[in-house]
Structure 1
């Protein structure tokens, strides 16, 4: 029987394991390495990390998710927002629900912080299972606008804003 999966907040001593995990997870995929490890470091250095969680199994970091602060205006007023990126799972463990568990735990944490809306730029067949919708994101002007940008109200009873602007943390714009 495999060791249980533990999801916990990332700590400073996890930085090297997270960096290695991200490089392994994105280095051998169809997406290729797109600077995700560098992005995580820059978001941390800028103080824009809102939630950073690891999945640990048998003492090893096997998954990581990060949500960062966004600058969002909805219907003329600022709205507390977080962007999901990246989510990483060790290549040999992908497809086993680790990423799903990390994202769900991160969304719970964001709700606990009173964050109103979340955005993700990702695969349109994966992220809607969490509540992300391209229809909501389409109401916002963003450099990342398009079919892969999705958003969700973290309070499921909240009314969708009519429109606004959504900007990811500055580190996203600094990626090469």
Structure 2
């Protein structure tokens, strides 16, 4: 799939493969260098989620055969209004620092959300910047209805069917790898 973009050499978005693992590691290390959890945390998280079999959607953006971005959506354990629902957590998404701000992360997230819809996933959660994720449909108001260790102003959720009613309440737990991240 090829996203529409603001520039003519938009990267191709495709499913990540085992051969992409080192490039994915490098992207997350570069993108998260100097952050609170450091460059190692996101790369370790991706490997643990993959090893646990909890990855639902893992996509890369490649330009001229070089992987320049990655997004991962993992399985979540979510209960809404007393029933289990299919859910996914977005984390992490990274783009090589020199290519950030060009729409690559946006294209990866949108392609990932489309793939989740095709899998029948009902809701997605993210812990991130309140100025960035609402453009995709994520809402802190929806997430506030769910008990979670990550609850707070940066915890957001979205219904993947925009016509679906918001649950009144529930519980949202990320994949076990998130609890092992140090």
TM value normalised by structure 2: 0.93
Kept after mapping to 2: 8 A contact 1:7/1:56 = yes
Structure 1's consecutive aligned runs of 4 or more residues displaced over 3 angstroms after TM superposition are 1-4, 28-32
Kept after mapping to 2: 8 A contact 1:4/1:58 = no
Distance, in Å, in 2 between the alignment partners of 1:167 and 1:31 is 20
Following superposition, the deviation at residue 59 of structure 1 comes to 1.0
**Corresponding residue number in structure 2 for 1:71:** 77
Following superposition, the deviation at residue 98 of structure 1 comes to 0.2
Following superposition, the deviation at residue 34 of structure 1 comes to 5.8
Q: Deviations over 1:93-134 (max 9, x none)?
A: 000000000000000000000000000000000000000000
Kept after mapping to 1: 8 A contact 2:49/2:177 = yes
- Structure 1 residue runs without a partner (length 5+): none
SS in 2 for 1:115: coil
> Alpha carbon RMSD of aligned pairs, Å?
1.4
1:11-50 correspondence runs (5 A): 11-28=17-34, 32-33=38-39, 35-50=41-56
Following superposition, the deviation at residue 4 of structure 1 comes to 3.8
**Corresponding residue number in structure 1 for 2:181:** 175
TM value normalised by structure 1: 0.96
Kept after mapping to 2: 8 A contact 1:27/1:33 = yes
1:106-117 correspondence runs (5 A): 106-117=112-123
Distance, in Å, in 1 between the alignment partners of 2:15 and 2:40 is 24
Distance, in Å, in 1 between the alignment partners of 2:107 and 2:49 is 22
**Corresponding residue number in structure 1 for 2:128:** 122
Structure 1 residues 29, 171: closer, same or farther in 2, change over 3 A? Answer: closer
SS in 1 for 2:131: coil
Following superposition, the deviation at residue 147 of structure 1 comes to 0.3
Distance, in Å, in 1 between the alignment partners of 2:131 and 2:82 is 31
SS in 2 for 1:19: helix
Kept after mapping to 1: 8 A contact 2:122/2:161 = yes
**Corresponding residue number in structure 2 for 1:91:** 97
Aligned residue among 136, 141, 148 for 2:142: 136
